[in-house]
């Protein structure tokens, strides 16, 4: 078939020539009888009484023609199409009435070259050195950032990985971001560290081991929370932690409870009483350290400060997964014994207070001038409207956090978006839904495309720019929408 018999798609900078019955390189647009159509249907979310007020995909069956107000339904940008090459209005600018006020929602699938994903991994395990390169299929796609309260943070993507490296690096980065944002499992490796399987809303798998618990707190916090539970049952408690190891007899919580000194010595850098840094190297062992024997962090016991034969010690990790009970012998050496039944509930209490370990994936992107042109002919007015909280930004219907400062830099939890919300184009770039909702009079004031505003009923009845099949349909089970010709 010659190029003259093909249709050129203008939905992204690649500008594919698409033969009849075929899809473009993105698999998002196709040629149907000489017309470019959006393969995935427009997704509308419905707040139903039956679902307890939860947001669910709209239309289990064809629309029956009834009129909806703004409180019942929300038009997302999933399946809407794009504004590219950006001079034209967004594919759908929807008018709806909320509490007797006229609002518009401007929806578009934005092409993000400037985007990435922030990953929060709930674990005590040492994933890798800070700033270490994170790889997917051998290609650099991001780096390790900071360790926070019971979590390790990864930063993936960004314009330098998408466009600043090799062609393969950009392609793999784009694929990795799209898989993660669509809630699929992705295996990552960290230079000088671990291999990890990340899936939004699921527990991480680190070096082949499934994580179960997020720490209850650092060692010091654990002492503060549970010191009263141990009081009178054991002579000393040490909560082993890579960050802040806690010692109950020295800790302020112990002092308030009149806890006697034990003559314990901790091999680490003492911070404040009962709080120690750097008791061991980071690793996959107790409390995120590299040790499997907690006695390695102990020095010699001092009889002049309370150490004596028969003194009992509980050593436990910040998740309660590791614990040991010891008694000092005549040489003041700790000897391991079975955990007394009186202490079992205290260890179980630590585990009970640990939340399930999860991976959190936040899509992050900057809505640039080209995207904003689909909303208004003067893009900076939209930025100011967002900054002044006159315009609400969402992503696939999920609330987006907009960063302070210049531009519209948004971040969204991908688990709150409909399945299959994110796509890609081989430029490479991520395609993500974005919606702007504001009052109709404010929309007019910022120079919006008021002549392109349509009612929801009109959109449901007549479809959109990319063919009549752009009507709202209920997505099928799974993460993929049907393509033309599929059942």
Question: How does pLDDT run across 226-239, given as a tens digit for each residue?
Answer: 999 999 999 999 99
- Name the band, by pLDDT with cuts 50, 70 and 90, for residue 404: very high
Q: Is the peptide bond before 428 cis (omega within 30 degrees of 0)?
A: yes
pLDDT of residue 471: 43
At residue 148, does pLDDT exceed 90?
A: no
pLDDT of residue 54: 46
**Residues, the chain, total?**
487
Q: What is the mean pLDDT of residues 283-300?
A: 93
Distance CA 419, CA 417 (A): 6
At residue 25, does pLDDT exceed 90?
A: no
Q: What is the mean pLDDT of residues 104-121?
A: 93
Pairing mode, if any, of strands 92-98 and 453-455?
A: parallel
At residue 222, does pLDDT exceed 90?
A: yes
Question: How does pLDDT run across 320-367, given as a tens digit for each residue?
Answer: 999 999 999 999 999 999 999 999 999 999 999 999 999 999 999 998
pLDDT of residue 279: 95
Q: Of 17-21, 363-367, 465-469, which gets the smallest average pLDDT? A: 465-469
Distance CA 143, CA 161 (A): 11
At residue 452, does pLDDT exceed 50?
A: yes
The number of helices, as runs of H, and strands, as runs of E, in the chain is 9, 32
How big is the chain by its Cα radius of gyration, in Å? Answer: 28
At residue 60, does pLDDT exceed 80?
A: no
| 409: exposed, middle or buried (Cβ count in 10 Å: 0-12, 13-18, 19+) | middle
pLDDT of residue 332: 97
- For 84, 192, 195, 222, 442, the CA distances from 446, given in Å and listed in that order, are 21, 51, 49, 53, 6
pLDDT of residue 481: 28
At residue 117, does pLDDT exceed 90?
A: yes
- Name the band, by pLDDT with cuts 50, 70 and 90, for residue 310: very high
- pTM of the predicted structure, to 2 decimals: 0.85
pLDDT of residue 67: 52
Determine contact, residues 402/408, Cβ cutoff 8 Å. yes
Distance CA 261, CA 271 (A): 18
Distance CA 39, CA 24 (A): 10
At residue 313, does pLDDT exceed 50?
A: yes
Question: How does pLDDT run across 164-209, given as a tens digit for each residue?
Answer: 999 999 999 999 999 999 999 999 999 999 999 999 999 999 999 9
pLDDT of residue 323: 97
The larger pLDDT score, comparing residue 191 to residue 43, is at 191
């Amino acid at each position: 078939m010659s190029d003259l018999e093909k249709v050129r798609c203008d939905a992204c900078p690649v500008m594919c020539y698409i033969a009849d019955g075929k899809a473009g390189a993105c698999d998002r647009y196709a040629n149907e009888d000489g017309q470019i159509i959006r393969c995935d249907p427009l997704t509308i979310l419905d707040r139903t009484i039956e679902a307890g007020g939860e947001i669910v995909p709209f239309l289990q069956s064809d629309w029956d023609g009834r009129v909806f107000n703004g409180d019942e339904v929300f038009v997302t940008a999933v399946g809407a199409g794009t504004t590219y090459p950006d001079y034209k209005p967004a594919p759908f600018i929807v008018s709806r009435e909320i509490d007797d006020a006229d609002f518009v929602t401007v929806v578009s699938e934005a092409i993000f070259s400037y985007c990435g994903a922030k990953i929060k991994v709930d674990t005590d395990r040492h994933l890798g050195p800070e700033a270490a390169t994170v790889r997917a299929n051998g290609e650099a796609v991001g780096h390790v950032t900071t360790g926070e309260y019971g979590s390790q943070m990864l930063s993936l993507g960004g314009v330098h990985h998408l466009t600043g490296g090799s062609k393969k690096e950009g392609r793999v980065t784009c694929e990795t971001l799209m898989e993660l944002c669509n809630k699929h499992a992705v295996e990552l490796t960290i230079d000088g560290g671990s291999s990890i399987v990340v899936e939004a809303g699921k527990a991480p798998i680190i070096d082949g081991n499934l994580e179960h618990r997020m720490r209850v707190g650092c060692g010091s916090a654990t002492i503060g929370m549970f010191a009263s539970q141990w009081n009178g049952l054991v002579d000393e408690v040490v909560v082993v932690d890579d960050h802040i190891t806690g010692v109950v007899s020295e800790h302020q919580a112990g002092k308030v409870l009149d806890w006697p000194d034990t003559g314990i010595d901790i091999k680490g850098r003492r911070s404040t009483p009962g709080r120690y840094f750097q008791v061991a190297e980071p690793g996959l062992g107790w409390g995120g350290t590299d040790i499997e024997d907690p006695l390695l962090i102990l020095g010699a016991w001092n009889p002049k400060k309370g150490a004596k034969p028969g003194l009992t010690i509980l050593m436990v990790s910040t998740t309660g997964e590791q614990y040991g009970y010891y008694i000092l012998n005549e040489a003041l050496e700790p000897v391991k014994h079975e955990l007394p039944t009186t202490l079992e509930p205290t260890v179980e209490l630590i585990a009970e207070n640990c939340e399930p370990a999860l991976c959190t994936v936040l899509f992050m992107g900057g809505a640039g001038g080209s995207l904003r042109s689909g909303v208004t002919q003067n893009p900076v007015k939209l930025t100011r409207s967002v900054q002044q909280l006159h315009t609400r930004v969402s992503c696939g219907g999920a609330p987006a956090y907009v960063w302070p400062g210049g531009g519209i830099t948004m971040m969204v939890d991908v688990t709150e978006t409909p399945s299959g919300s994110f796509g890609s184009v081989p430029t490479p770039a991520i395609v993500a839904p974005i919606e702007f909702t504001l009052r109709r009079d404010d929309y007019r004031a910022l120079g919006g495309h008021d002549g392109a505003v349509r009612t929801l009923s009109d959109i449901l009845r007549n479809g959109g720019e990319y063919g009549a099949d752009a009507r709202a349909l209920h997505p099928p089970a799974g993460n993929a929408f049907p393509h033309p010709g599929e059942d």
